Structure 1
Amino acid sequence: EIKCPNCGEVFTVNESQYSELLSQVRTAEFDKEIHARIEQELALAEQKSQNVQQALLSQKEQEISNLQSQIAQFETQQELAKKEAEQAASLQLQEKDKELQQLESQLTTLRLEHENQLQKTLSALEKERDEVKNQLVLQEKEAALAQTSLKERYEVELRQKDETIEFYKDFKAKQSTKMIGESLEQHCEYEFNKNRMAMFPRAEFGKDNDARTGSKGDYIYREVDENGVEILSIMFEMKNEGDETATKKKNEHFFKELDKDRREKGCEYAILVTLLEADSELYNSGIVDVSYTYEKMYVIRPQFFLPMITLLRNAALNSLQYKQELALVREQNIDITHFEEDLDAFKVAFAKNYQSASTNFGKAIEEIDKAIRRMEEIKKFLTTSENQLRLANNKLDDVSVKKLTRKNPTMKAKFEALKEK
C-alpha cells in the first residue's frame, strides 16, 4: 500500500508496479542529485575560477601599482631634473637679460644723448635756416616790389614816350622851326601844370623873363620849404627842330650858354630838354649826365621831363636837413670855416660808418658761409651716428638663446635634453 503524500489516499500496487515506481523515483532523485552535484561542481569551479581571476587581477593590479609608482617616481625625477635645468637656464637667462638690459640702457642713453644733441643741432640749424629763409623772403619781396615799381615806372615812362612820339609826329609835319620849339615848351609846361598839385605843390615853374645879363633860359623851377630854405632850383632849356630844317644843330652847342644862364640865375642844376639828334643812341638811351664838362648839367628827352624833376627833388629832400642846418648856421653868423670842418667831420664819419657797414656786411657773408660749412659737417656727423645706431640695432636683433649658449656646453646640453624630451 502506498499513501499519496498530496491527497492522503492509500492505494495498493503489486511488486512489478512497485519496482517500476521505485525505479522511477530513484532515477528522478539520481538525476536531481546529479544535477545538484553538477551545479555544486560548477559553482566550485566558478568560485575557483573567480578566485584565480581575483588573484590574477590582484597580482596585475599590484604590478600596475608598482609600475605606476615607478612611473610616478620616474616622472618626479624627470620633473626635478627639468626644474633644475629650467632653474639653471632661468638663472643664466636672467643674467643675460640683465646684460641685455644694461646694453639696452646704455644704447638708450646713447640714443637719447644723440637725439638730444641732434635735436639741439637741428633746432639751431632750423633757426638759422628760418632766419636765412626769412631774409631771402624779405629780399625776394623787396626785389619783387622794386621790380614791380621799376616796371610800372618804365611802363609809365614808355607810355609817356610813346605819347610824346605820337605828339611830335603829328606836329612836326605841320609846324615851322619856331613853332616846334614853342610847342615843346608848351608841352613841358602843360605836363608840369597837370601834375603840379599832386607832385610839386610848393614849387614855382615859369619862363625866365630876366634878360638883364644879356641872355636868358626858357624855364626856371624853384622850390622852397616853409622856412624859405631852397630845396631845389633848375634852369631848363628846350630845344627842337623840324625834319625839314636845313641846318642840323647838336645838343652840345647849347651847353655853354645853358651853364652861363644857370650860374647867373643862381640855379643848382641845368637841364636841356631836347629833340635834337633824334638818331643818337646816347641821348635816346635815357638821362645823360654831362657834368664831366659842365657841372650839374643833364640832357633828357621830353618823356623824362617829370621823372628828372622827381629824381632831383627826392635827392634834394634827402639833403634838405643839411641845407636847413646850413641856413640856420648862416642866420646865426657862424664862421663858414667851422661849418666846413663840421661838414668834413660829417663826411669822415659817414665814410667811417659806410666802411663799418661794408665790413660788417662782409663779415655777415663770411658767417653765412661758415654756417653753411658747419651745417655740412653736422650733416656728416648725423649720417655717421645714424650708421652706428643702425649697426648697434642689427647687433641687438642678432642676439638669441642659441648664440648665448654657444660657448656654454652645460646649458647647451640641458636645452638639447629638454628639446629631446
Structure 2
Amino acid sequence: MTALAPSPQPAAVAGARDVTVVSRKAVVASAVITALLALLVALAPHSGSTSFRFSSETDLFRIPDVAVPGQATAWVCVVLAALVTAAMELSVRRGRRVPLVLSAVLALLLIVGFLAWAGAGSDRDFPVVRLVGGSVLLAVPIVFGALGGVIGERAGVVNIAIEGQLLAGAFSAAVVGSLTDSPWAGLVAAVLAGALVALVLGLFTITYKVDQVIVGVVLNVLVIGLTSFLYSQVLVPSADRLNSTSRFTPVAIPLLSEIPVVGPALFRQSVVVYLMYLAVPAVWFALYRTRWGLRLRAVGEHPKAADTVGIKVQRTRYRAVLVAGGVVGLGGAFYTVVSVSSFGKEMTAGAGFIALAAVIFGKWDPVRAALAALLFGAASNLEGALSIVGAPVPSQFMLMLPYVVTVLAVAGLVGRSRGPAAAGQPYVKE
C-alpha cells in the first residue's frame, strides 16, 4: 500500500532515476478512525447542545462561552475529517508525505467532534482550560521519557528501560524529598536514580553487548520489584518520615498566565513543567546544532565510520545513555514532587512504554516526540473531562483510550519512518 514517485534529479545524472516511497498507512488509519466516529454518532445519537467554556475569572480578557448543537457539530467534524483524509490521499498520490499540519487538523476535528457528541444535552460546560491544562500535566513524564528515548536511540541504544527509570526517579524523589523536606533535593535524587538505571543499562548493552531489548525488559522488572518491596517493607511502616514529600507549588508567570485558555494551562504550572518547556528545545539544539549531537547521531547511524574519524563510540554512547537517564529521572520526579506527595506501587502505570511509542510516533525527533506525548496526555485526560459533564461513555473505555491511541499511532498514523540505522546493534571494533 505505497505510492512511488520520482524525485528530482540533477541534469548531470543521465539515466538514473530514484524513487521516494510514500506510505498510505496514515491515510488508512485516518479513514478508519473517521469511520468509527461516524458510526458512533449515527448509532448513538444525542440530542441537545454542548457548551464549551474558554475563560476563567482571572483571565486578562474573557472569551464568551460557546454552545453548539452536539449532534450536528459532530457530523460537521466527521465531514471535515473525511475531507482532510481525502487531502492526505491526494498528497500520497502525488508522491508526497502527509503534511504534519493535516494530521494535527485531523486530530483536532476528531477530538472536537467526539466532545460535541459526548456532551450533548448536558447541563454542564466543558472547561477547555482544564482539559488543556490536564493534558499538559499528564504529558509531562511522557515528554521527559520520550526525550530520553530519543537521545538514547540516536546514539544507537534502544532504551526499553524508560519505565524503570521513571519509577526509580519517582521513588528516589519521594524518599530524599521526605528526608530533606525539600522538593529540590528530591528532584536531584530523581536525576541521579535515572542515571544509575541508565548506567546499568549501558554496562550490559555497551560493554558486555547483551541484547538491548532483553536488558531493558529485565531492568523494568527489577526496578518494579525492588521499589514495590521497599515500599511495603520500608516506606509503609515509616510513611510520615520517608514517604511524605513537599511538593512544588504552581508559579504564575505575570501576564502570560492571564491569557485565556493557554495562560492558566501553560503558564500557571510548577518548576518541573517549566523545565519540560526548556528541555525540549535544549535537546533539539544539542542534537542538531552542537558537535556533541553530531557525534552522537554519527554513532547511532554508522558507528564504524564514526570510529574511523576518531570518535570514541563506546564513550559517546555511555554519555548519551547517562544524559538520557537523567532526563527521564526528571519525569519520574513529577509523580512525587508535583502530582502527589507520596510514592505508590507502580505509580508510573506504563508511562514509559507510552513514551517509547512517542519516540516512534515522533520519528526520533525531540520536538515531534514531545508533541506526540501531548497527544497521549490529551487522550489520558479525556476521562476526567467526560466525567465532568456526565457523558454516557463507559469509564473502562476511557481508561483504555491512551493505549488504543498509542497502538494506532505506532501502527498507522506515524506512516513510514526509519529509526537510526545502528539502534539496537552493539558495536564491536574490528
Q: Structure 2 length normalisation: TM-score?
A: 0.20
Q: Structure 1 length normalisation: TM-score?
A: 0.21
Q: Which has the higher contact order (CA 8 A, sep 6+)?
A: 2
Q: Which has the higher helix share?
A: 1
Q: Which has the larger radius of gyration?
A: 1
